[in-house]
Structure 1
């Protein structure tokens, strides 16, 4: 039998200059030929930081992950046929709806059909811009490439969100409207699941949310800094016992969500949410100072604090 000899084929470069066997420039971790270089595009690629580049990124993550009932006017760019309001949850977890009075909503806490949450939300917004009153979009369908673009293409990038928190989900319906059928049941269940929450308002404090979980209260604060830079800054404060919001607060840990870190503090539940604003403002100022030297070498005590903070991180998927 003749001996078969392996033939080494030269790498074939794609038409845009990227070697198909090299990692895709989008950062997905896949080879280019299996990602943006494939015929169908990156339909199954997970975008780990979908809202990157938007000033609204921290608030979008908060509304997506843990704020129960809130709405925010979307800063849409250009001339649009109607205003679209971003919402945490819509009836029966719909992706979008237009109320009978013509007010359009897009939901963030929804089932996704692709690995790019930004693309899914953008497609829901485009649907909401032209849908008729009373229409609802249960779920964003599979992307077939006919609607390119992401949230970054629709919003004014440097304009932050100003969410409004609600005690319940009565805003689902126009005023003086009674819920019936599935909507009434969904409304009842959603209202029953709400934990009292508040957005802290203080200079230098953004995307920080207090929640009353019953036996204790928490502060969840979405931070925009790169993870390692933030960890170094927090380690400097922790080494000085300054990583807190004052008496009755304790740093609990952090989680990663959509590419950003969300530090969490346990708080005295007897204190009102507004009573933590001053402590959050002071902590923000200390963090700002520590971030200015976050790239400097850590001391022994700061390294130990850094390792402790790293050990109390989890990732939401």
Structure 2
């Protein structure tokens, strides 16, 4: 290969600009929402909740003109990344897909694009984030609470708006896909969900996924990882660097019936988390079993 061929190219074979150099690539972030208020709730709204919203506020000097606040949502119509409604409401869909290894950077790009869009328009495409794109931690007011509201359906898409017959039919169809979900009060980021004829409780743990797995292994080896009689720890999701254990509970039970057991589990988990003893052989076997039942959400 000649010297000219080895020089850095600025165009591809078609004459178009060459792709960005690797220096602009977004670095992978294992816990993309770390440092945000309620990290576990950010993971929940992005990964396990069907229909939910939460309000956020831009940090001083970070908002496009006229858009001081926005609504973070699970899903938007047509899986749009963002929407700037005619009433000025800016909405961002967390489950629109991530184009890089850092969902915080991707969502910040969606948020800025939605805030900058003309009122009454949808953002259907957001340029891929780069290493220079700000993250949510850079553009949001980190002193404002992040309070997730669980909805029965997607009517929040059209709050205060009139729908024609076709629009209502489309919304009703979307609402039919939403599985019943209820926030539990005993622990933060715990949600009861009924899928078909089975019922589960999912709980986003605040600790790093490997640390949380060790604590669960201690409980599982001691037969204390469930929520009482008729329940069992099925496995866990690995999501955004955190662990989300999934408990199956009797299908006909309601959320309130599990609050006391969930609180007791939280106490046992905290004690297991505080242990500094090496895992025993039985606990290591339990850990191997738990790892085989973990599913990574990326």
Q: TM-score, normalising length from structure 1? A: 0.79
Pick aligned residue for 2:288 from 298, 307, 317: 307
Pick aligned residue for 1:113 from 90, 99, 104: 99
Pick aligned residue for 1:98 from 74, 77, 84: 84
Q: Could you report, residue by residue, the CA deviation over 1:165-210 in whole angstroms, capped at 9, with x for unpaired residues?
A: 11111111132511565x55652332121110011112xx111111
The CA deviation at 1:40 is 4.8
Q: Structure 2: how far apart are the matches of 1:156 and 1:309?
A: 37
Could you tell me which runs of 5 or more consecutive residues in structure 1 were left unpaired when the two chains were aligned. Answer: 1-35
CA contact (8 A) 2:113 2:126 kept: no
Question: Which is further off, 161-170 or 172-181?
Answer: 172-181
Pairing 1:199–2:183 present:
yes
The CA deviation at 1:117 is 1.6
CA contact (8 A) 1:118 1:151 kept: yes
CA contact (8 A) 1:92 1:186 kept: no
CA contact (8 A) 2:56 2:144 kept: no
The CA deviation at 1:160 is 4.8
Q: 1:86 corresponds to which residue?
A: 72
Q: 1:235 corresponds to which residue?
A: 217
Q: Structure 2: how far apart are the matches of 1:156 and 1:246?
A: 40
1:1-317 to 2 correspondence within 5 Å? 38=21, 40-43=23-26, 45-78=27-60, 80=63, 81-143=67-129, 148-157=133-142, 160-179=145-164, 184=168, 186-202=170-186, 205-293=187-275, 295-317=276-298
CA contact (8 A) 1:169 1:191 kept: yes
Deviation beyond 6 Å, 4+ runs, structure 1: none
CA contact (8 A) 2:40 2:205 kept: yes
Q: Structure 1: how far apart are the matches of 2:233 and 2:97?
A: 31
The CA deviation at 1:75 is 4.2
CA contact (8 A) 2:81 2:123 kept: yes
Q: 2:17 corresponds to which residue?
A: none
Q: Could you report, residue by residue, the CA deviation over 1:49-108 in whole angstroms, capped at 9, with x for unpaired residues?
A: 322222332111111112111111114322643320100011111111122222221110
CA contact (8 A) 2:73 2:92 kept: yes
Rate the CA distance shift 1:112–1:239 in 2: closer, same or farther, 3 A.
Answer: closer
Q: Structure 1: how far apart are the matches of 2:78 and 2:169?
A: 9
Q: Structure 2: how far apart are the matches of 1:180 and 1:116?
A: 40
Rate the CA distance shift 1:268–1:127 in 2: closer, same or farther, 3 A.
Answer: same
Q: Structure 1: how far apart are the matches of 2:159 and 2:31?
A: 35
RMSD: 2.3
Could you tell me which runs of 5 or more consecutive residues in structure 2 were left unpaired when the two chains were aligned. Answer: 1-19
Partner secondary structure for residue 72 of structure 2: strand
Q: Structure 1: how far apart are the matches of 2:128 and 2:237?
A: 29
